Chain A
Amino acid sequence: MTQTGFRLPRPVHFFLRWFADEEMLDSMAEELEIRYSGAVEESGFLKARFRRGIHIASLLLSFTIETFIWRMTMLRNYFKLALRHITRKKLYSFINIMGLTVGLACFILIGLWVKDELSFDRFHEKKDQIFRLMRKMPDGNSDWSVTYALAPALKDQFPEVEEMTRLKPWGGSLVRYKDKNIQEDMIVLGDPGFFKMFSFSFVHGSPETALKDESSVVLTEETAQRYFGDEDPMGKVIQLVHYRGDYTVSGVIKNIPLNSHIRFNMMARVEVLGEDRLARWDEWTGASYVLLRSGSQADFEANIADIYQRNLGPDTTYVPVLQSLERIHLYELGRPGQVKKVTMFSVIAVFILLMACINFMNLAIAQSARRAMEVGMRKVIGARRQQVVRQFLGEAVFIAFLSLFLAVVLVELVLPHFNRFTAKSLTLLSGGSLGIFLTLVLVTLLTGLLAGSYPALFMSSFLPAQTLRGRLSSGTRGVGFRKALIVVQFVISVGLITSTLIVSGQLRYIQDRDLGLDREHIVMFSNNYDLFPRYKAFKDTLLNQPGILNVTTGAQPPNRVQDNIEINWPGNPVDQMISSDYTVVNYDFFKTFNMEILQGRSFSPEFPADKRSACILNETAVARMGLEDPLGAEIYMNHPAWPERLRSVRVIGIVKDFHSRSLHTAVRPFVFRMYDLWQFNVFVKIDGKKTQAALARLNSTFEEYSRGYPLNYRFLDEVFKMQYTSERQLGQLFNAFSLLSIFIACLGLFGLSSYSIEQRTKEIGVRRILGASVSSLVGLTSKEFLKWVALANLIAWPLAYFLMNRWLQEFAYKVRITPLVFALAAGITLLISLLTVSYHSLHAAYTNPVDSLRYE
């Protein structure tokens, strides 16, 4: 017993310190030491150590169990108290629980969405080794469309490339098998390496044998079901009518999960495009991916830096860049894309939860006047401040978990609609993820602690003497902080309302703005091999039908052109070709879309040369090229697939500027020409008053001229709407969040005004007696709150203006932000606040003064 002092091991000491004090720990340490020495003498070091371990374990166990049991009793007590409190004050509790429930539900929904967005493409085993090849352009932007020859060249020349694949969306085609004739839209082309790199599970076949022949095709389970039902699809031959080929089914994969950026129904091999096209280094289309050996990414990127220069000439300015698989969904073009949305929504989620917590705080404190006596009594019988704090914190946490339960129910109810809206399949309860459950519990716990902290500290500081007198003379303490909280809530609300107004204003502007072309009552459908040679007859027949106004064809509808080409012209001061959008069209194109020809004429059968060597420019093209006398000028269109004689065209007309792309982009130079081979779509303008009849006529005429092809037509204005789906969704989301935030802010105002006005009940009673009218009293009591709301407005306006300006920059054509928007937001918030507060004002004003003065 002469040891200088055995101490308990550090972590044990630290842990036990929570339960016992230093002196007790000293005793324990001493006993352990005594027993240890005794044991060493008796049975040696090993056994002694072992016994000491057992002793330590016994200490740990006993203390935890005992405290747990003790705490359980205390918790049960707090639980009873909390329950009693909630049932006593039903309205208040209801508001509080509702606020937290809504806040938590929003948080959960957004959390699920964010988690899904971050999970894209994670199901591939070799995801860390997969990279997409991009090309970087001199202005710093990147694009993912690369040349066909790139990937195979890289695989040949560099051993660190283990697999490669190209991925080209091929477009739609009619697919035939026995008696099934179905139009498929998502057909893509790839290489055998595709299934070796990416992990798609096979229902029939395997990654090694899928796409083994040049005529192989791989289907998804769903697609196979359409043609083969329950039969075994392997080895069966289907016909892709559009591409005039027979393809053998060599594999069926399970349906592609929604969180994959690669989507298709069918995949065939790129070889169907022909050797010539695949050898091209100058056609920029389709994506390519490589599977690199682990860790070789950086060096590889450096090694291939000059690959474009080597194959296209030293003055090529493109540089190849690698993009890792994980980043593709969020950073589509190498720049932040989708990830901006993800961040924005995460921020909103946290905001809303924060607002709910602030609300809770305000409401809890608003009730403090009533509970002050309770707190005073507790302190008198000996509760320490810490215990009071714990009681209120426990209450808050209890309410938080109650809200969590309700929030989960709410989320489950709303989830199907939310899924439809976001085109995902999110699950909460059946997700089976322990991680989600634990996160939710943690978030709720934190929410409860956060929301309960301020009220707990506030209420535990009450001095018994004051409270038992029945009056809270410290009623003005902390009011400043609470005012600030309310102002913050309203700042958020005003900000959201203003943003909503501006976003919907911009949306309306986009949809109403004159695009320079008609899109109403125009129907489009795919051209096909039967129809194409007989187009002229088809058109004549159709035009004779009532209700059909115009017929034309083109590669794309004029508002969905994404192809560009390099053009040159004599007198070009810089020796560099410029990039222009272009498309190929047919006669009557401009008439059908009501696009105004400002100078010259449109393509016409009266001038046979039009088919080969004529073009029409838009105003921007003329301006860009600086042509003073454009008619008759010779333009050179540098398309790699056209023979030289077709590349020179003469300008025969100028068309008024129109929007070929969404209003995010400014109008670009545009060239129209005629070219037989790419008339993919037929456009028919219908008389709006005879739509039904016209469509029926169209159907029957179509059947005459193309046997066996289904007529899948679409209205152009629907197609147009799809361009702005994301903006529309944004608008709807902002709408929803504005309403939510106003709702939560009003809850807070409701609670706070209830407390404040209640404090003044006596004053109001006296004023009533002295003859004040109800309306003047309402005005008197509401005045202060409205001042806060006004302040919130003033703070929010510049913030909203700044943020909305930033968002509007994305559009080349935008609305201007007028003061009307801010005035409207102010009006809405003031009105709603007034209504909220006047509830209490009226209640106080109508209370019989006798009752309120009774307690004096």
Chain B
Amino acid sequence: MNYLSRIEEILLLAILKLGENAYGMAISEQVEKDTGVEWMPGAIYAPLNRLKKNSLVKTFKSDSAAERGGRPRIYYRLTSLGEKQLMSIQEVSRSLWKGVPDLKREFKS
């Protein structure tokens, strides 16, 4: 498996969760919600660009031209390669975390 960086994983998951609604700002907000931290634009878009270059995500334009004064909004979606990557990450994560108890309780004492 191609080990993705954490942020790339987070982005892919965010896009997955957002489904049809995954445009730039929404992805940022989703990441913020998931991680609890507000991310700088550079930290989102540079990895996102990488994902796009490596063909893990693809973009498509919406038809909402009228609303936005002439330019269609760009939406992001996982490619099949991206889906495969995410699946293998899930598998690996499952087997990594299998049987690990709730660490909050474990490390309290």
Contact = CB atoms under 8 A, between A and B. Distances in A.
Contacts of B43: 58, 62
- Counting from the closest, the 9 A-B pairs by CB-CB distance are A62-B42, A27-B24, A58-B42, A4-B69, A58-B40, A62-B46, A59-B42, A31-B25, A31-B24
A23 B61 CA distance: 9
A777 B26 CA distance: 76
A55 B40 contact: yes
B70 interface: yes
Given A59-B45, A66-B46, 19 more contacts: A5-B68, A5-B69, A20-B45, A20-B49, A23-B59, A23-B74, A24-B48, A24-B52, A24-B74, A27-B74, A28-B45, A30-B74, A55-B41, A58-B40, A59-B41, A62-B40, A62-B45, A63-B42, A63-B49
Interface string A451-480: 000000000000000000000000000000
A61 interface: yes
B50 interface: yes
B73 interface: yes
A60 interface: yes
Given A34-B25, A55-B40, A58-B40, A27 B45 contact: yes
Contacts of B49: 19-20, 24, 63
Interface residues of A, number: 27
B5 to A, nearest CB: 10
B24 A60 contact: no
Given A23-B59, A55-B41, A59-B42, A31 B50 contact: no
B73 to A, nearest CB: 7
Contacts of B25: 30-31, 34-35
Interface in A37-64: 54-55, 57-63
B82 to A, nearest CB: 16
24 contacts: A5-B70, A5-B71, A20-B45, A20-B49, A21-B52, A24-B45, A24-B49, A24-B74, A26-B71, A27-B48, A30-B73, A35-B25, A35-B41, A54-B40, A55-B40, A58-B41, A58-B43, A59-B42, A59-B46, A62-B40, A62-B42, A63-B42, A63-B46, A66-B46
Q: By DSSP majority rule, is chain A's interface helix, strand, loop, or mixed?
A: helix
B30 interface: no
B73 A3 contact: no
Contacts of A30: 23-25, 73-74
A551 interface: no
Contacts of B59: 23-24
A35 B42 CA distance: 14
Nearest to A70: B50
Interface residues of B, number: 25
B70 A4 contact: yes
Nearest to A21: B52
A32 B71 CA distance: 16
B3 to A, nearest CB: 15
A596 to B, nearest CB: 92
Contacts of A422: none
Contacts of A430: none
A757 to B, nearest CB: 46
Interface string A1-30: 011110000000000000111011011101
A58 B50 CA distance: 16
A31 B48 contact: no
A55 B76 CA distance: 21
A1 to B, nearest CB: 8
B42 A31 contact: no
A116 to B, nearest CB: 48
Interface in B46-102: 46-50, 52, 59, 61, 67-71, 73-74, 76
Contacts of A32: 41
Nearest to B60: A23
Contacts of B47: 66
Nearest to A55: B41
A815 B70 CA distance: 81
Contacts of A24: 45, 48-49, 52, 59, 74
A60 B71 contact: no
A20 B69 CA distance: 23
Interface string A591-622: 00000000000000000000000000000000
A611 B64 CA distance: 115
B68 A26 contact: no
A58 B28 CA distance: 14
Contacts of A59: 41-42, 45-46
Contacts of A34: 25
A28 B49 CA distance: 11
Contacts of B69: 2-5
A31 B41 contact: yes
Interface string B31-47: 00000000011110111
A27 B25 CA distance: 8
Contacts of A3: 69
Contacts of B52: 21, 24
A54 B41 CA distance: 9
A21 B45 CA distance: 12
B31 to A, nearest CB: 12
A387 to B, nearest CB: 14
Nearest to B71: A5
Given A24-B48, A61-B42, A66-B46, A31 B74 contact: no
